[in-house]
């Protein structure tokens, strides 16, 4: 297996992009990534693209062929990857494996979703398909309800509070306010979160990630070749994926995501690292409770201590372990197929020290954590800047 590096990154602004379509978004992200890598399209061997639901959302299937066509990259192979909200992260893993195995020398990995072209209820129904359609969505359990069940059980088992959930949202909006690509660039306070409309108690509007349009892309190459074309290639030192039951009612626990724990364990073993070695992380905060569970299951905090960590500002920039410096899904936005790639873009910027006012000082090692559904799929990547070692 060859060592693999990110040599270029790019993304669009996330938000409600009324004047741009699916193909416009991924084209912008892809061009930015190639320009960042100082490469041209003729040097690309393959495309992997994460997108969850272009069929029901925009009426377009066969999305991989569309992307190769629209980006002028025919006839190279182009493959769509679908893993619900983890589509981007799993696409990154496929691109990583293709380069690591020696199959390809230069791969573009993208993620895109255009979610605002259909009414909100249709988006919610489409996203509900990321869970167990027969045993959850059919009975009316959309994802706010599913994560609310997790939050209620977590509050019961660990005496957590609504204020601790709200602290996650406040922190992520604080970070997002410093990110020009974020959907929401305004700070909020605890009172704003607690007084917002209840979606599924204890989750309120400001506990939930928004409906978002956007795209992101990265370019991968073998590390030794990457060193010859860019000053700061960012090495992917671990890529791990795990699965769990699709339906929540089949889980052993409502207060942990087993797929996250297993993927994290495998990733740290592969990298020869421990959670304490990570300087900055992007985790899957589709709801505030999701971030709390993630930082515990990855190993940054003990089980039951994630809410306290957020409340005590341990996960802010400048804290013990900065989490979601981009603003996370909560403030940066959640175009589901693009999220896992956006996380890699943010960690690349952090490790290159290109994150401007949200820069984590001295960041050498970063982690991304991308989840599909309520935890049935989890993929984790660990990255480092070799120039800092």
Active-site annotation, residues: 85, 334
Tell the burial category of 65 from Cβ atoms under 10 Å away from its Cβ (0-12, 13-18, 19+).
Answer: middle
Contact 330, 209 (CB under 8 A): yes
Is residue 33 within 8 A of residue 369, CB to CB? The reply is no
Q: What are the residue ranges of helices labelled H in the chain? A: 22-37, 54-58, 63-70, 87-100, 120-128, 143-158, 162-176, 190-195, 223-226, 258-271, 288-297, 306-311, 328-331, 339-352
Residue carrying the six token digits 């001295």: 362
Tally the residues of the chain.
Answer: 389
Angstrom distance (rounded) from CA 94 to CA 98: 6
DSSP letter string over 309-334?
A: HHHTTTTSTTSSS-B-TT-HHHHT--
Two structure tokens written together for 197: 């409309």
Rounded CA separation 358/54 (Å): 32
């Amino acid at each position: 297996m060859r060592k693999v590096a990110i040599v270029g990154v790019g993304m669009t602004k996330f938000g409600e992009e009324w004047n741009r379509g699916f193909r416009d978004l991924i084209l912008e992200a892809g061009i930015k990534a190639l320009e960042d890598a100082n490469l041209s399209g003729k040097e690309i061997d393959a495309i992997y693209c994460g997108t969850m639901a272009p069929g029901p959302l925009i009426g377009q299937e066969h999305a991989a062929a569309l992307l190769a066509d629209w980006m002028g990259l025919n006839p190279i192979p182009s493959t769509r990857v679908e893993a619900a909200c983890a589509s981007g992260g799993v696409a990154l893993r496929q691109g990583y494996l293709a380069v690591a195995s020696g199959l390809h020398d230069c791969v573009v990995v993208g993620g895109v979703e255009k979610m605002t072209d259909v009414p909100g209820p249709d988006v919610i129904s489409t996203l509900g398909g990321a869970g167990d359609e027969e045993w959850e969505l059919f009975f009316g359990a959309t994802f706010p309800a599913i994560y609310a069940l997790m939050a209620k059980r977590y509050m019961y088992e660990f005496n957590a509070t609504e204020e601790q959930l709200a602290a996650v949202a406040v922190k992520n909006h604080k970070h997002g306010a410093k990110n020009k690509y974020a959907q929401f660039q305004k700070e909020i306070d605890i009172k704003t979160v607690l007084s917002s409309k209840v979606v599924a108690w204890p989750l309120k509007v400001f506990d939930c990630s928004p409906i978002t349009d956007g795209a992101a892309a990265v370019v991968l190459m073998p590390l030794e070749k990457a060193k010859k074309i860019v000053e700061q290639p960012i090495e992917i030192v671990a890529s791990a994926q795990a699965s769990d039951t699709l339906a929540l009612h089949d889980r052993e626990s409502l207060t942990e995501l087993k797929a996250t724990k297993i993927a994290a364990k495998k990733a740290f073993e592969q990298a020869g690292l421990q959670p304490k070695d990570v300087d900055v992380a992007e985790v899957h905060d589709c709801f505030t409770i999701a971030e709390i569970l993630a930082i515990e299951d990855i190993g940054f905090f003990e089980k039951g201590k994630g809410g306290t960590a957020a409340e005590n500002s341990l996960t802010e920039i400048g804290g013990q372990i900065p989490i979601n410096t981009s603003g996370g899904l909560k403030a940066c936005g959640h175009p589901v197929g693009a999220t896992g790639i956006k996380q890699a873009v943010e960690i690349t910027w952090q490790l290159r020290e290109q994150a401007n006012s949200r820069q984590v000082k001295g960041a050498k090692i970063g982690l991304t954590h991308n989840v599909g559904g309520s935890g049935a799929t989890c993929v984790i990547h660990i990255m480092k800047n070799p120039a800092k070692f």
